[in-house]
Amino acid sequence: TLTGPLGDKDDPAALYPAVHTRHTSRYPFAETPLPDAVLTALAEAAHREHLSLSFASGWHLRSVMDLALEAEARNLTDAGAAADLARFTRRADDTRPATEGVPEYAFGPRRRIGKAPMRDFAGGKPIPGRPTVDFETAPHLALLSTARDRPLDWMRTGQATERVLLRATVEGVSTSFLTQALEWHDLRWPLRDPMSGNAYVQMVLRLGYGPPGTRTPRRPVHDVLDLEP
Ligand SMILES: Cc1cc2nc3c(=O)[nH]c(=O)nc-3n(C[C@H](O)[C@H](O)[C@H](O)COP(=O)(O)O)c2cc1C
């Protein structure tokens, strides 16, 4: 059924308009607290897909930020991570089709050292005209977690991520990802909140009030989806 007991805003049809307005926003967000009603709505969106969404605070928030910084530092000196970044992003002199790679205009400003751990899509290289700014000191970070780590959990994570991001967009909340620590086996485990009972952190999101981000190109549908007649 497309409608449910949690109210209209959880109806996938109500989330649909946000598909066109949701973008990853790599800009600083205000540290203004998010209203409890919004936090509850986002957690319910995750529960719909059998995931838990927890908001890191206090020592746990500091620990999640430290783990992301550690991952970011490793990425800057790791040849594999540098190659991944080069494939995943698009620089001005890129010769691939225009749909390949996150374009420079979506990188957002460069983070001043010592603030919220944003992944630097420029890999530390200078981009002319790119400003350097302060990000949040205490960002709103949300962790999507599962009790187990099966392919089913990974699929549900994708669905939960989509629901949470779209619901946030409907609520006027901007979002970005902070997944660096998840990519290092030894940094993923300590990310979890030991009080939560959910061992496997699957996704780390940054939430807040701020610029909505920028639209980026998509590959043509027939490049990514085979439809049987
Ligand atoms: C599994 C996954 C992990 C991601 N990790 C990051 C990240 O660590 N930092 C970041 O800036 N964007 C991250 N992204 C966001 C993608 O770069 C983004 O979705 C892509 O650039 C498309 O832009 P859009 O979200 O605005 O449509 C991640 C996306 C996915 C699906």
- Domain 24-212 CATH class label: alpha beta
Kindly state if the Cβ of 159 falls inside 6 Å of ligand 1: no
Kindly state if the Cβ of 117 falls inside 6 Å of ligand 1: no
pTM, two decimals, is 0.92
To which H or E segment does residue 47 belong? helix 36-47
132-133 and 110-111 beta bridge pairing: parallel
Residue nearest to atom 9 of ligand 1 (CA): 177
The residue-averaged pLDDT of 196-222 equals 94
Model confidence at 47: pLDDT above 50: yes
Cα-based distances in Å from 72 to 34, 69, 107: 27, 5, 15
Domain ranges (residues) in the chain: 24-212
Task: Give the three-state DSSP class for 160.
Answer: helix
Kindly state if the Cβ of 212 falls inside 6 Å of ligand 1: no
pLDDT band at residue 9 under the 50/70/90 scheme: low
Q: pLDDT tens digit string along 67-77?
A: 999 999 898 88
The residue-averaged pLDDT of 140-165 equals 97
pLDDT for res 3: 47
Kindly state if the Cβ of 187 falls inside 6 Å of ligand 1: no
pLDDT for res 8: 59
Measured distance CA(139)–CA(205) in Å, rounded: 10
52-55 and 89-90 beta bridge pairing: unpaired
What is the CA 50 to chain-centroid distance, rounded? 19
The residue-averaged pLDDT of 144-151 equals 96
